Structure 1
Amino acid sequence: MNSILVEKIKNPNVSLIDLEQLKTKTIYIAIFGVGNVGGRLIDQIHASYREILERRDLDLKIFAIANSSHLLLDKEGCSENWRDAIIAQKVGYTLQDVLTYAQENEFDNLIAIDNTADVEFVLNYEPLVKSGFSLVSSNKIGNTIGLDFYRNLRKTLSKHKKEYLYETNVGAGLPLVDTIKLLHLSGENITRIKGVFSGSLSYLFNRFSEGNKLFSEVLQDAINKGYTEPDAREDLCGNDVGRKLLILARELELHNEFSDIQIENLIPKQLRQGTKEDFLLQLKDFDVPFHLKKKNQKKGHVLRYIGDLRGDLSKNDGAILEVKLVSVPRNSMLGQLKGSDSIFEIYSESYGDNPIVIQGAGAGAEVTARGVFGDVLRLSNKLN
């Protein structure tokens, strides 16, 4: 029998409307950052709203949407017309405006989502948690700045009984962070994690290894298709892969800082400075060095840009963290990678020489937004 009707029989003086409202859990969401990922996330939530309400009894209300200069607030939930509505708002706001609005409207079950790439915004995490928000983030910076910040945030989360989910920090929407966290918490001794962490660089080296095109031509193609950051040097310098590697190290409670990572920068020294426009005019400077790297491989090998975490991980004093270009057999797991997929090999004592392998789409705003949405739903289930 329908649970609402059961309650009606038990409590005949309570209206069906009141019972329906008691049954449904309302989640109040504030979204910061409405670029590619943030914008798609809002659209995904709107597209799935009715189904989630009916099937899971979750009412997802986006009460705040903020970009770098505008803030849109609506206690009933921002509409599908949010893009026009946010532009119409006055310029300028502070985080306190959001906190005050939530407090004045007595919202509970609060989630703040960080879809920015802003170093400064992560400083808002602790004030948000102290004001009753749990956190979901696609922004990797909060997990890769100083270890003191990392530890203090977790103490604050524990003290206020709040959650922080960030599955998309590594592998876009792949279930990697949670898998490693569960293995570690269960007492599994992870001995090594290696793989292709960047969907952008996966596409680049998969194409370069298979065909006869110059490296500059493949790179330009990747840029044109939007696989790289607006300035492709952000991918090619290796820092993004390094941050992802550090996040996994810290999930294993290893005492590593970003400065511990050995990163091979793929950008020729003469191209590391200057404007993005200057860089794009000099892509041919990549061709000779990368032609030689490709030519000097063993037969049947291909190039892959990987992250590698290893060492005696049973000790918490840190691990060897490397980001580098390697040559691997074409028929290996790394060598068989296609498209813009990412792949992660997780080695542990129990699994021996046969790693757990997680592979799939490792890049793209749509995939990342879907991963953030998944974190929102997982967190919603935990909230009272």
Structure 2
Amino acid sequence: MSAATVEIPLEQLINLEKIKKKKINIAIFGHGNVGSHLVDQIISSKEEISRRRDLDLNIFAIANSKTVLLRQNGLNKNWIEEKIESGKSYNPEEVISFAKTNNLQNLILVDNTADSNFVQNYSAFVENGFHLVSSNKIANTLDLNFYKELRQKLTSKKRQYLYETNVGAGLPLIDTIKLLHLSGENITRIRGVFSGSLSYIFNTFSEEDRTFSSVLKSAIDKGFTEPDPREDLCGNDVGRKLLILARELDLHNEFEDISIQNLIPKDLRNVSKGEFLDRLQELDVPFQIKKKNRPKDCVFRYVADLHGDLSKETGAILTVNLTSVPKNSMLGALKGSDSIFEIYTESYGDNPIVIQGAGAGAAVTARGVFGDILRISDKD
């Protein structure tokens, strides 16, 4: 006797397929360069990810500092126009309430802002079931009390916090350092060029017969620097990245512990952005003198260095400064706007683990944030 064949209606099959897929509900704060690239990347990859990973990525909230667009069933490719038309003023608690009211599960908060105030909301989001993904470095560079309390909250609520793009844009740096450290490997030093914008500036200035101001203008025109390039030249951003890596090694450092060489002349540090840009040529003479006095066959690199007795919680020395390095060294051979990180360990001795690649760019950073979202989605 042959088995009976049961036909399942197509509509029911589609519904079964939807049930099988895990729906990930994402709230994105910040939709400037990185944030807008991220939204577009998620929307354009949605079908492929659904097919390959059984994940349904649903951006239910998109916000900047002024307005939010909330959509239970997610955004489409016309999200910018829709937000302009339908976005409303808000506070972050309303996003949490929206998720609760609509019974949204598998929640991820993505912070693509550079807002020091917004990070104060992290704990409330974690308390209400959100994982965290952030390209915003601030939460990892505030005082140690905030840093530790956030991690205690994450542990108690069994939530994840991923921030691979805090250092090295899309490069797999933080994850590598975490794995080495957790495996018991004794990391003895981390050194490198952490800024893609300063990499481009000093790679170009070292190799070409050009004034410093002309190289800086090129970097501005190419979009490599912050809108006010002093945010790059002061070195604080590189310092924050170095502090993040130090804390990954369980070192008890604060931002004030870092010795940072500010590359901006004192009389240009507090003028308006417009005046600074008008007076760029004042940078030419001091940098030309540095260039003339550098050792033979050397090039300039703006180097972050974490060294000292890293076995002690307070034994680290953190420095950020402009350095002359041999052209034939790994740092000296750097090209374009690449970043490079040398990780020295007890096992590898004098031969560091080297991670190198694109260290800047909105699309690259967005792709790194996207990777963190997928890593949480696969585990949640």
- Point out 4+ residue stretches in structure 1 off by more than 2 angstroms: 15-19
Q: After the TM superposition, which residues 4-43 of structure 1 pair with which residues of structure 2 at under 5 Å, given as runs?
A: 16-43=13-40
Deviation at 1:314, TM superposition (A): 1.2
* Equivalence for 1:60: 57
Where in structure 2 are there 5+ consecutive unaligned residues?
A: none
* Equivalence for 1:208: 205
Query: Once structures 1 and 2 are overlaid, which stretch shifts more, 152-161 or 311-320?
Result: 311-320
CA distance in 2, matches of 1:220, 1:21: 52
CA distance in 1, matches of 2:113, 2:295: 42
Give a deviation string over 1:248-303, Cα, whole Å, max 9, x none: 00000000000000000000111101110000111111111111111111110000
* Equivalence for 2:91: 94
Deviation at 1:89, TM superposition (A): 2.5
* Equivalence for 1:348: 345
CA distance in 2, matches of 1:294, 1:375: 41
CA distance in 2, matches of 1:301, 1:359: 20
Give a deviation string over 1:191-244, Cα, whole Å, max 9, x none: 000000000000000000000000011011111111100000000000000000
* Equivalence for 1:103: 100
Deviation at 1:315, TM superposition (A): 1.4
In structure 2, which of residues 264, 268, 272 is the aligned counterpart of residue 271 of structure 1? 268
CA contact (8 A) 1:238 1:264 kept: yes
Residue 188 (1) aligns with residue 185 (2): yes
Deviation at 1:59, TM superposition (A): 0.3
CA contact (8 A) 1:238 1:323 kept: yes
CA distance in 2, matches of 1:146, 1:309: 19
SS of 2:34's partner is helix
Residue 338 (1) aligns with residue 335 (2): yes
% of aligned pairs identical?
Answer: 66
Deviation at 1:182, TM superposition (A): 0.4
* Shift in alpha-carbon separation, 1:43–1:99, aligned structure 2, 3 A: same
* Equivalence for 1:165: 162
Give a deviation string over 1:146-184, Cα, whole Å, max 9, x none: 100000000000000000000000000000000000000
Residue 237 (1) aligns with residue 234 (2): yes
CA distance in 2, matches of 1:90, 1:57: 30
* Equivalence for 2:324: 327
CA distance in 1, matches of 2:291, 2:69: 51
Q: How many residues align?
A: 374
SS of 2:355's partner is strand
In structure 2, which of residues 356, 360, 378 is the aligned counterpart of residue 359 of structure 1? 356
> What amino acid sits opposite 1:239 in the alignment?
N
CA distance in 2, matches of 1:165, 1:135: 6
> What amino acid sits opposite 1:223 in the alignment?
I
CA contact (8 A) 1:301 1:329 kept: yes
> What amino acid sits opposite 2:246 in the alignment?
A
TM-score norm. by structure 1 comes to 0.95
* Equivalence for 1:5: none
TM-score norm. by structure 2 comes to 0.96
CA distance in 2, matches of 1:259, 1:44: 37
Give a deviation string over 1:335-375, Cα, whole Å, max 9, x none: 00000000000001000000000000000001000000000
* Equivalence for 1:3: none
In structure 1, which of residues 238, 249, 253 is the aligned counterpart of residue 250 of structure 2? 253
In structure 2, which of residues 66, 70, 73 is the aligned counterpart of residue 73 of structure 1? 70
CA contact (8 A) 2:178 2:248 kept: yes
SS of 2:310's partner is coil
CA contact (8 A) 1:115 1:137 kept: yes
Residue 118 (1) aligns with residue 95 (2): no
Deviation at 1:70, TM superposition (A): 1.0
CA distance in 2, matches of 1:213, 1:371: 34
CA distance in 1, matches of 2:282, 2:348: 44
* Equivalence for 1:381: 378
Deviation at 1:22, TM superposition (A): 3.2
* Equivalence for 1:221: 218
CA contact (8 A) 1:70 1:89 kept: no
> What amino acid sits opposite 2:170 in the alignment?
G
Deviation at 1:18, TM superposition (A): 4.6
In structure 2, which of residues 300, 306, 312 is the aligned counterpart of residue 303 of structure 1? 300
SS of 2:51's partner is helix
CA distance in 2, matches of 1:90, 1:327: 51
